[in-house]
Chain A
Amino acid sequence: MQPGTAACADRAEGTDAPLLVEASGIQVQFGPLWAMRDLNLQIRRGEFVSLVGPSGCGKSTVLRLLAGLLPRTAGEIRVAGAEPSVARRHQVRVSFVFQDATLLPWRSVAANVSLPLELAGVSREERACRALEALTRVGLADFARYYPQQLSGGMRMRAALARALCNSPELLLLDEPFAALDDLTRRQLNEELLALWLRDRWTGVFVTHNIAEAVFLSTRVLVLTPRPARVAAEFHIGLPLPRSDELRGEPEFARLVGAVSRALRACVQPPYGSDQRPT
């Protein structure tokens, strides 16, 4: 793992906080294809870590492994010291935001948002209360009774965010949640997401192929190589918090985006090593 070129790493986040996610030597094989061969990852509580990498490199696979949704071929993953599938049942409140809003069309926005609580057996009154609170936080309080079909793409994604926040997660996994949105909406949601993180300080793992988005949101950016995925470079993003959209015009922001882009290009460029071919 090469050290990143980023200066002034935000030592306040991360270094002292206890580890939440520890993964070492993860191997995942889909048939003859190695999705990852030797992935190592450490995430501390309260961090916001973005994974960037070329399309199809297995970024989403990492999130699914952390959520305990996918089996691995080899290697060790510990979430709060436990197997991911065990951790999400007993140790850690985990939430997942998918690429699509994945709302149930036959449920109102409020009923969609409170689904995680409903599955956890929380009482109806408390569910309604907490769903409304989560909806208020994403600015959708007036749309609680609407149905997903009646919302725009950006609003649906806000509802999906509210659902993910509804169970007060400690670990929030986000799989390119804003990829399908227009640039303006995406930047607006970036700002809102960062504010939500600053407020509650859940641990965020964010997958994207948009480098500016990764730099804007994160305390740390990891660059993944093409399949089989491993961490090629790491950047501590020391940009001051809270951050607003104006930050994107700052030279330091541009410099970090440039540095991450270069690292990404370097690991994508041929010639590929022999170990990157499927065996």
Chain B
Amino acid sequence: MKTVARYAAAVGPPITFLVLTLILWDAAVVLTGVERYLMPRPADVWQAAREHALTLLRAAVLTGSAALCGLCASILLGTIVAFAFSQSRWLRRSMYPYAIFLQTVPIVGIAPLVISWFGTGFASIVVIAAVISLFPVVTNVTTGLLAVDRTLAELFAVYNATRRQTLLKLRLPAAVPYLVAGAKTSCGLSVIGAIVGEMFAGYGAAMPGLGALIAQTHGRLETAYLFAAILASTLLGVLFFSVASLAAGTILARWHVETR
């Protein structure tokens, strides 16, 4: 009974808020008499979502796989770049400022460029997702590899550790929590990157991702369907973030470090 009560206490308020918002939304649309293609009623969105459920699901799977591929690529590449930065002061000094600078380049600006280089299709979407999610990994892991506790470094020095031993047994393991934190940030970004990429590239009408669906439905003024596509994108983002949080928690627990 107690757990039920606690569950209700946790879920109750947000559910109440959701229901109230939906009622207000519906009332506002009906009372103001605004055009449906500008603002659909909640029921319309639900109707559209049910009608196009299979297309939406397929689109989410497609977008999700592109985001996942991009994320994996960025984790791998980002770790390698961070490793290079940590090993060479010269590299770090000359290139790290640009790594931070590049982080601020808007993905919407690069997306068309990437598409003209790699063509429309899955590869471009993966590249865009990877580019946008690369920098959190680079900055976090570089910080982690360099921010080794001074006394731990002294400990390794006292026991005559070689540079290689210090790297493998101290610096890399110490950077794992930083990698996890970076990957968690990148995770959400990769979904955004994939959707933005698809808005420009798409895969053609036969097999659209969520981004392409958003672009198409917007073009055809199917606003209820557009809302459903946005909702599906949000859910995909939530799914990514939840899985990443779970994975991060598991890894950090295995690493026996406090979760930050």
Contact = CB atoms under 8 A, between A and B. Distances in A.
A188 B48 CA distance: 73
Given A98-B154, A102-B151, A149-B256, A115 B176 contact: no
Contact of A95 (B149, B158, B255, B258): B158
B256 A102 contact: no
B146 interface: no
Interface stretch (B65-73, B127-135, B159-167): B159-167
A69 B158 contact: yes
Interface string A51-89: 000000000000010010100000000000000000011
B238 interface: no
A106 B256 contact: yes
Given A100-B151, A148-B256, A106 B176 contact: yes
Contact of B151 (A98, A106, A119, A167): A98
Nearest to B176: A106
Interface string A81-119: 000000011000011101110101110000000011011
Place the interface of chain A in its size category: 20 to 34
A105 B255 contact: yes
A120 B256 contact: no
B257 A106 contact: yes
A147 B156 contact: no
Contacts of B149: 102
A63 to B, nearest CB: 10
A105 B151 contact: no
Centre residue among B154, B158, B169, B258 by max chain A CB count within 10 A: B158
Centre residue among B159, B169, B170, B173 by max chain A CB count within 10 A: B159
Contacts of B157: 67, 69
A161 B140 CA distance: 33
Contacts of A147: 256
A226 B186 CA distance: 51
A119 B157 CA distance: 10
A105 B160 contact: no
B155 interface: yes
A119 B173 contact: no
B254 to A, nearest CB: 8
Contacts of B161: 119
Contact of A102 (B155, B165, B255): B155
B154 A69 contact: yes
B152 interface: yes
A102 B149 CA distance: 9
Nearest to B258: A149
Interface string A146-157: 011100000000
10 contacts: A88-B158, A88-B160, A94-B158, A98-B154, A102-B152, A104-B170, A105-B256, A106-B176, A116-B159, A148-B256
Given A67-B158, A96-B154, A149-B257, 18 more contacts: A67-B154, A67-B157, A69-B157, A69-B158, A88-B158, A94-B158, A95-B158, A98-B154, A98-B155, A104-B152, A104-B169, A105-B256, A106-B173, A106-B176, A106-B256, A115-B159, A118-B169, A119-B165
Nearest first, the 4 A-B pairs at minimum CB distance are A147-B256, A116-B159, A96-B158, A119-B159
